[in-house]
C-alpha cells in the first residue's frame, strides 16, 4: 500500500471530544509545578531544603540531571497533545524520512498506554508525601514541595483517558 493510500485511509474525519483536548493540554500543566521547582534548585534556590540537605543539589551533575528531568518530563507531557492534534495522525512533513506518512494508531496507542500505566504507578504514593520522613527539608519546604508534586498524580490517568479517546476515534473512523 502506498504512503498516499495509507494517509487517505487513516485521515480522521472525527474531531477529538472537547474534554480530551482539555485533558491533553492539562497534562502539560500538571507537570509544570514540579519542573519549575527543580529549575529553582538548579538556579541555586534551596527550594525548601535545609542547608545540609541542599548540598547534594549543588554539584554540576545534579544540576544537569534536574534540568534534563524537568525538560524531558515537560516534553513527554506535551506528546499527549499529539493525541488530539493532526500531528498525532500524520507525521509533520518537516520530519525527515517519515514526514507526510500516516501514524498507525497502535504506534501511538501502545506507548501512550504503557506510559499511562507507568506514570500512574510512579506517582501513586505522592498523595502520602507528608507521611514519609523528609529530614533534609524545612517544615515549610516539606509542605510546599508536597503541594507542587501533587498534580503529578493526575498525569497517568489524564494520559490514559486521552489515549482511550484517541484509540476510539482513530480505529472507528478508519
DSSP for 133-156, please give it: --TTB-HHHHHHHHHHHGGGGGHH
The grid cell for 90 is: 500524520
Q: Does 106 reside within a domain?
A: yes
Q: Does 31 reside within a domain?
A: yes
| Distance, CA of 67 to CA of 99 (rounded, Å) | 30
pTM of the model: 0.87
Q: Does 137 reside within a domain?
A: yes
Q: At 5, is the pLDDT very low, low, confident or very high (cuts 50, 70, 90)? A: very low
| Distance, CA of 42 to CA of 59 (rounded, Å) | 9
Q: At 173, is the pLDDT very low, low, confident or very high (cuts 50, 70, 90)? A: low
Q: Does 174 reside within a domain?
A: no
> Domain of 67?
3-169
pLDDT digits (tens, 9 = 90+) for 108-160: 999 999 999 999 999 999 999 999 999 999 999 999 999 999 999 999 999 99
Q: Does 84 reside within a domain?
A: yes
- Domain tally for the chain? 1
The packing angle between helices 139-149 and 18-42, to 10°, is: 150
Q: At 100, is the pLDDT very low, low, confident or very high (cuts 50, 70, 90)? A: confident
Residue 2: pLDDT above 90?
Answer: no
Q: Does 25 reside within a domain?
A: yes
Amino acid at each position: 500500500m502506498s504512503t498516499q493510500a495509507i494517509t487517505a485511509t487513516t485521515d480522521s474525519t472525527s474531531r477529538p471530544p472537547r474534554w480530551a483536548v482539555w485533558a491533553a493540554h492539562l497534562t502539560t500543566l500538571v507537570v509544570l509545578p514540579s519542573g519549575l521547582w527543580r529549575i529553582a534548585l538548579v538556579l541555586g534556590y534551596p527550594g525548601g531544603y535545609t542547608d545540609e540537605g541542599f548540598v547534594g543539589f549543588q554539584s554540576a551533575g545534579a544540576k544537569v540531571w534536574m534540568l534534563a528531568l524537568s525538560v524531558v518530563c515537560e516534553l513527554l507531557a506535551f506528546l499527549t497533545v499529539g493525541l488530539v492534534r493532526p500531528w498525532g495522525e500524520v507525521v509533520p512533513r518537516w520530519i525527515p524520512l517519515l514526514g507526510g506518512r500516516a501514524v498507525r494508531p497502535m504506534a501511538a496507542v501502545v506507548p501512550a498506554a504503557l506510559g499511562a500505566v507507568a506514570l500512574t504507578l510512579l506517582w501513586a504514593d505522592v498523595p502520602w508525601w507528608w507521611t514519609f520522613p523528609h529530614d533534609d527539608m524545612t517544615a515549610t519546604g516539606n509542605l510546599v514541595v508536597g503541594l507542587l508534586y501533587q498534580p503529578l498524580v493526575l498525569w497517568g490517568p489524564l494520559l490514559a483517558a486521552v489515549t482511550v479517546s484517541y484509540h476510539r476515534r482513530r480505529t472507528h473512523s478508519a
